[in-house]
Amino acid sequence: MGFLDVEDLKVYFPIKGGLFNRTLGNVKAVDGVSFSIEEGKTYGLVGESGSGKTTTGRAIIGLNDITAGKVSFEGKDLTSKKSKTSAVRKDIQMIFQDPYSSLNPRKRVLDIVAEPLRNYEKLSKQAEKQRVGELLEMVGLSPESILKYPHEFSGGQRQRIGVARTIALKPKLIIADEPVSALDVSVQAQVLNFMQDIQKELNLTYLFISHDLGVVKHMCDDIGIMYKGRYVEQGTKQDIFENPQHIYTKRLVAAIPDIDPKNREAQKQFREEVQREYEHSYNDYFDNDGLAYGLQSVSDTHLVALPEKG
């Protein structure tokens, strides 16, 4: 039994309409996703907008209802209704994408960071204040800022307040939903390096959701690529970046910008080549509905969505 196991996870959103508000169909946001994360590792979930990566993360933490499938954390089932309030939730926390809306604008930093502590740990006022001060120091903010409001901080600082709140309960798994995509590049690096630092310090496991392959390459050990609610490829960082098998992954990897201007021509040619291959062999990789096939294993760690042979 692994640390976090997701088996055939499905999250459908009903389309209501017609007479009596019937369910006319489903939007298959996540359609049969399986993966597992080892403790202490960072797992990257990559995909374009609307590919279901955020929904996957939200379903694991319980913000979206799971239609079918199983999520288990350290052997404990998270899918049952009862577990929504159980202490298991304490070990899974989330960093939100938008640092501007994820902090309550009416609360002081003290109240924001202390919120999880007040829910799970009964501390005295003084002890609570001290803990919050320590947490803020950990994320590189001065403890004096505990009485400020979120709007008095910059985006990067706000995201770090969010991180301080997330690590307050010493969780084991953190779901980071595009934690840096709302930040500018200089601050991105700062937040990412900081996340890696606390990962080592607290032995955290990350589920890192992102559309930025550069960031994913920097952060993650294992990567899953999603497209239209399904996995197209899964493997270690080396598998994905050095030996992409699926055409969708190849296009993604080809799209990573190269900062060396000398390679510009070669890069352009490479991209055009991938584009030609994509147009030529689209039908080999996607079924009639434009969805990815089931995963076939290529090596021990590497899974690719290919049609079954024969």
| 15: β partners | 25
Which of 95, 232 has the CB closer to another protein? 95
Which of 17, 105 has the CB closer to another protein? 105
How far is 9 from 6, CA to CA, in rounded Å? 6
Query: Which has the closest alpha carbon to 131: 67, 171, 122, 233?
Result: 122
CB of 87 to another protein, least distance (A): 9
Residues that bind another protein (CB under 8 A): 61-63, 85, 89-90, 92-94, 96-98, 101-108, 115-116, 119-120, 143-144, 146-147, 149, 151, 162, 165, 169
CB of 149 to another protein, least distance (A): 6
Six-digit token string for 81: 């209704």
How far is 168 from 291, CA to CA, in rounded Å? 40
CB of 86 to another protein, least distance (A): 10
Residue 46 contacts residue 216 (beta carbons within 8 Å): yes
- Return the number of other C-beta atoms located less than 10 Å from residue 190's C-beta: 16
Which of 115, 277 has the CB closer to another protein? 115
Which of 152, 272 has the CB closer to another protein? 152
CB of 261 to another protein, least distance (A): 39
CB of 101 to another protein, least distance (A): 4
With b for 16 or more beta-carbon neighbours within 10 A and e for fewer, the 6-41 pattern comes to beebbbbeeeeeeeeeeeeeeebbbbbbbbebeeee
Which of 40, 116 has the CB closer to another protein? 116
